[in-house]
Chain A
Amino acid sequence: MEIIMTVLASILFAIGVYNLLQKQLLRIVVGTVLVSHGAHLYLLTMSKLKRGAPPVLEDGVTQYADPLPQALILTAIVISFGVTSFLLVLAYRTYTLNKTDNMEELRGNEHD
């Protein structure tokens, strides 16, 4: 199962990177979302899947899923959420100010 999940994460990476290389701002934002999804899945996969119960302690259960990667992913989800929402608003502002969402046209101005 882990192999399939690794492949899935890699597909998410590849498509995220492809979106990052596009010109439209929104595609770039979508690209970052895909890459972070890929990274989260990757993290979870690397810590072995389905080895026991959810990490909520119960009497009589000896085998639990690894709680540490879950904590890490939780942190990562929240952070990438913050970054994504920031990027979205940034894209929105960029568009309203510059009247374009084409990255090739956004090349600074003569004062740079």
Chain B
Amino acid sequence: MIFAIFAPLIIAILIPFLSRWKEKVHTGWLILPVPVAVFIYFVQFAGPNFEPQAYSVDWIPSLDISLSFYLDGLSLLFALLISGIGALVVFYSIYYLNNKEQLGHFYTYLYIFMFAMLGVVLSDNVFVLYTFWEFTSISSFLLIGYWHHRQKSRYGALKSMLITVFGGLSLLGGLILLTIVTGTTSIREMVSQSDVILESSYLPLILTFLLLGAFTKSAQFPFHIWLPDAMEAPTPVSAYLHSATMVKAGIYLMARFSPIFAGEPNFFIFLSLFGIVTLAWGSFMAVRQTDLKGILAYSTISQLGMIMAMLGFGTEIALFAAVFHILNHATFKGSLFMVAGIVDHETGTRDIRNLGGLMTFMPISATLALFGTFSMAGVPLPFLNGFFSKEMFFEATLANAGYGGFSDFLVILIPILAVVGSIFTFVYSMYLFFGTFRGEYQKEKVPQEPHEAPKLMLLAPFILVIGVITIALFPGFFNQGLITHAADAVTGAENNRDIYFWHGLVPAFYMSIAVVVVGALLYIFKPKWDGVYRVFPGTLSFNRVYDWGVEKLETGSNAITSRYMTGSLRLYMALLLSAIFLITTTVLILTGGANFEVNDVAPITTVEVIVAIIMTVAAVATIFTHNRIGMILVVGVIGFGLAILFVLYRAPDLALTQLIVETVTVTLFMLCFYHLPNLEKAKQSITHKTINIAISSGVGLLMMVIGISAYNSRSFDSISDYFIENSSELGGGYNAVNVILVDFRGIDTLFEVAVLFGAALGIYAMIKLRRDKGAK
């Protein structure tokens, strides 16, 4: 199984080499066998006697992350869709893209996507699932931006990336919480601990995160806005990623976790509510579109909403219908995208206002579209699979029981919104078909003379339409082999449902009839009422919210950054010192660290006080001196004062060094000051001055408080007795300070020498090296 999953990735690595011969043979032909082989591999599992398969390889055992894959009915259904439609899409793309395109890039991205998607549906480990999940986001980003010279492609790619990665990250949060709650990373074991999860206090967070992940990926209201913009991708990509596979990743996720959450009131409320609103809103908005792929994008949104809602219902029939509709939607929507691509390819336009009357030019495409659109609309004919699942959907909408409160209201709302959404679905399906293939042929508006597509280009949508018809004609065959097993996986119990065309005169049948009748009337009188879109939603859309958000985020963060990153060192200094002051003061107050108890201090003597006063005066004078010689002298006074203090405090070596260093420093100051301008009176505003005074006095006070408190709260004696006792015995010297410097702690001295050496080198380099001399 692992080879089946990794095969597309391995081929993706080889594709750049294969695409070199694209002048002779289209790259697509060379790699077409891979998805076909994967499909055949997975088909052999299907059948009435299906048994789940498990496979596992260690990856990061210490974190309990292993490449463990589990093939049950649901995974099998998805794996077959991914590899089957993948093969058809590759086949179709051979005719859709010509040699002038960068085929190597296209197929590499596509196969990475195929690999990632197979990984998503087969992973049993949540973190492996997440890894593959993000791979699908990245490869989808690359595919949407395939024609990266177009501004709209880049916009669409960025939008889908931002939204799906936002959802992906919240999914990661949810998965981590699930792992914490259950103590396992395996989805199967999580399902078996469903009661632990439902009783956990993290449940609301887990649900929020998982739903966000699923809603963004599967383009649910209000995160649906990325999908219409993703239509800038080449049509094979739209057909594959944005109708059949990737957008169902969120559906898959919800179906996979359905055994845990089914029956949980909030799960029902949120999933059903958002799903049903997405269904109604998507189909309502689809009627408004003028671009063929735009209609199909909103149609996908609405159909995904329908599946999502059914997963939310959580009843046995709803889950069964959801699984069934996943298969049906993939077949008819894939074929419709391919037909839309053919129309675009042969006429040069996708704008439905410019199209019409193509039936006579493209009879085969028209027939294929007829089956696709009518199946999507749910027209009650025994050879259209869309009708079967739609009627089951209606049946499911009526079979909900509320949990009290808002959910009771929702139970009434669901069938109404379902019918409304289906009516609009009917309208746009009819519009899509009749608007493109019937009516007047507008010669002047169509860029190319239309003609039928090459036979082999039609083969892929043809196979999908065959699928539409055979599923409808032989539902039992697909049911026994595939759908029942998938439903078993979702419900966690045995399913024995049969799929019939004729249910008798049940309420769902009347709903279907109502949809067809009202939908047909609405379609016929569409020009009379479609002005309503100018009023509602008018110019309202979530795209505006998104654009506004992205723009404000950028300008806002720019504004914030340019406010504090002014380039002024003074400001940075002030910010740093204020932060130090605030944080330290807070800690001092919180811990009660200040301690002014005075004990064990040396007696005060006059000499030292005089020196201290002189130093203070000199320090204050540095602020007011505007004469450079005066400044040097004042700084010198402080340094020499310090040297005197060292003498008084029994530190002869320090005093010596301080004297020498101070002398040299003063000399250096002299040298430099000679070349520097006089210290003119600084022009600084009163506010600056006040702030400076506040900060510096704050820092000074803080140091004082810390110093006094630290002096008074000594917790143990100094280790200096050791140095005194051993300096002559171990160090062989009588000057304890010097023995410490070169013997006990000699490493310090070594590096202090290195510092001096470095400073000297630096000074030399600064004075001697003048690279800019030649330039001047």
Residues on A close to B: CB < 8 A? 1-15, 17-27, 30, 33-34, 37-38, 40-42, 44-58, 64-68, 70-71, 73-75, 77-79, 81-86, 88-93, 95-97, 101, 103-104, 106-108
Chain B interface mostly helix, strand, loop or mixed? helix
Report B570-621 residues with CB < 8 Å from chain A CB.
Answer: 570, 573-574, 577, 598, 600-605, 608-609, 612, 615-616, 619-620
Closest CB in chain B relative to A13 CB, distance in Å? 5
- Stretch from B72-80, B150-158, B282-290, B671-679 that touches the partner: B671-679
Instruction: Give the most central of A7, A51, A92: most B CB within 10 Å.
Output: A92
Closest CB in chain A relative to B578 CB, distance in Å? 11
Question: Quick check: is B507 within 8 A (CB to CB) of the other chain?
Answer: no
Asked, given contacts A23-B682, A91-B676, whether A1 binds B603 with beta carbons under 8 Å apart, the answer is yes
Question: Quick check: is B763 within 8 A (CB to CB) of the other chain?
Answer: yes
Residue in A closest to B598 when the chains form the complex, CB atoms: A3
> Can you list 27 A-B contacts (CB < 8 A)?
A2-B602, A5-B645, A6-B707, A6-B711, A7-B704, A8-B615, A9-B703, A11-B619, A14-B701, A15-B622, A18-B693, A21-B574, A33-B639, A47-B718, A49-B649, A55-B735, A56-B734, A65-B650, A79-B756, A83-B759, A85-B664, A86-B762, A88-B669, A95-B675, A103-B568, A103-B570, A107-B567
Q: Is the CB of B696 within 8 A of A86?
A: no
Residue in A closest to B740 when the chains form the complex, CB atoms: A71
4 A-B pairs closest in CB distance: A14-B700, A82-B759, A10-B704, A18-B696
Q: Is the CB of A86 within 8 A of B759?
A: yes
Residues in chain A near residue B601, CB distance under 8 A: 1-3
Q: Is the CB of B570 within 8 A of A21?
A: yes
Residue in A closest to B673 when the chains form the complex, CB atoms: A26
Q: Is the CB of B619 within 8 A of A67?
A: no
Q: Is the CB of A41 within 8 A of B642?
A: yes
Q: Is the CB of B672 within 8 A of A91?
A: yes
**Alpha-carbon gap, A101 to B673, bound state (A):** 12
User: A67: which of B570, B672, B724, B759 is its contact (CB, 8 Å)?
Assistant: B724
Closest CB in chain A relative to B762 CB, distance in Å? 5
Residues in chain A near residue B604, CB distance under 8 A: 1, 4
Residues on B close to A: CB < 8 A? 567-570, 573-574, 577, 598, 600-605, 608-609, 612, 615-616, 619-620, 622-623, 628, 631, 635, 638-639, 642, 645-646, 648-654, 657-658, 661, 664-665, 668-669, 672-673, 675-677, 679-680, 682, 684, 692-693, 695-697, 699-701, 703-704, 707-708, 710-711, 718-720, 723-724, 727-728, 734-737, 740-741, 745, 748-749, 752, 755-756, 758-760, 762-763, 766-767, 772
Residues in chain A near residue B704, CB distance under 8 A: 6-7, 10
Q: Is the CB of B718 within 8 A of A66?
A: yes
Q: How many A-B contacts if CB must be within 8 Å?
A: 261
Residues in chain A near residue B605, CB distance under 8 A: 1
Residues in chain B near residue A90, CB distance under 8 A: 766
Residues in chain A near residue B707, CB distance under 8 A: 6, 9-10, 42, 45-46
**Alpha-carbon gap, A41 to B644, bound state (A):** 12
Residue in B closest to A17 when the chains form the complex, CB atoms: B696
**Alpha-carbon gap, A92 to B741, bound state (A):** 33
Closest CB in chain A relative to B245 CB, distance in Å? 47
Q: Is the CB of A41 within 8 A of B645?
A: yes
Closest CB in chain B relative to A50 CB, distance in Å? 4
**Alpha-carbon gap, A72 to B638, bound state (A):** 20
Residue in A closest to B601 when the chains form the complex, CB atoms: A2
Residues in chain A near residue B693, CB distance under 8 A: 18
Q: Is the CB of B661 within 8 A of A34?
A: no
Q: Is the CB of B651 within 8 A of A26?
A: no
**Alpha-carbon gap, A34 to B664, bound state (A):** 16
Q: Is the CB of B569 within 8 A of A33?
A: no
Closest CB in chain B relative to A36 CB, distance in Å? 10
Residues in chain A near residue B711, CB distance under 8 A: 2-3, 6, 45-46
Residues in chain B near residue A93, CB distance under 8 A: 766-767
User: B741: which of A42, A52, A74, A108 is its contact (CB, 8 Å)?
Assistant: A74
Residue in A closest to B570 when the chains form the complex, CB atoms: A21
**Alpha-carbon gap, A73 to B568, bound state (A):** 33
Closest CB in chain B relative to A48 CB, distance in Å? 7
Q: Is the CB of A71 within 8 A of B737?
A: yes
**Alpha-carbon gap, A34 to B673, bound state (A):** 18
Residues in chain B near residue A88, CB distance under 8 A: 668-669, 672
Asked, given contacts A40-B642, A71-B740, A77-B657, whether A13 binds B668 with beta carbons under 8 Å apart, the answer is no
Residues in chain B near residue A83, CB distance under 8 A: 755, 759
Q: Is the CB of B651 within 8 A of A46?
A: no
Residue in B closest to A31 when the chains form the complex, CB atoms: B622
Q: Is the CB of B758 within 8 A of A82?
A: yes
Residues in chain B near residue A38, CB distance under 8 A: 703
Q: Is the CB of B568 within 8 A of A57?
A: no
Q: Is the CB of B735 within 8 A of A103?
A: no
Residues in chain A near residue B652, CB distance under 8 A: 54, 56
Residues in chain B near residue A10, CB distance under 8 A: 700-701, 703-704, 707
Closest CB in chain A relative to B704 CB, distance in Å? 4
**Alpha-carbon gap, A27 to B700, bound state (A):** 18
Q: Is the CB of B623 within 8 A of A19?
A: yes
**Alpha-carbon gap, A72 to B76, bound state (A):** 72
Q: Is the CB of A57 within 8 A of B727?
A: yes
Q: Is the CB of A20 within 8 A of B654?
A: no
Q: Is the CB of A30 within 8 A of B654?
A: no
Q: Is the CB of B649 within 8 A of A44?
A: yes
Residue in A closest to B577 when the chains form the complex, CB atoms: A17
User: B682: which of A24, A91, A107 is its contact (CB, 8 Å)?
Assistant: A24
**Alpha-carbon gap, A55 to B736, bound state (A):** 6
User: B615: which of A3, A12, A26 is its contact (CB, 8 Å)?
Assistant: A12
Closest CB in chain A relative to B563 CB, distance in Å? 15
Residues in chain A near residue B692, CB distance under 8 A: 18, 21-22
Q: Is the CB of B728 within 8 A of A8?
A: no
Q: Is the CB of A84 within 8 A of B657?
A: no
Residues in chain B near residue A64, CB distance under 8 A: 724, 736
Residues in chain A near residue B646, CB distance under 8 A: 44
Instruction: Give the most central of B650, B749, B755: most A CB within 10 Å.
Output: B650
Q: Is the CB of B767 within 8 A of A78?
A: no
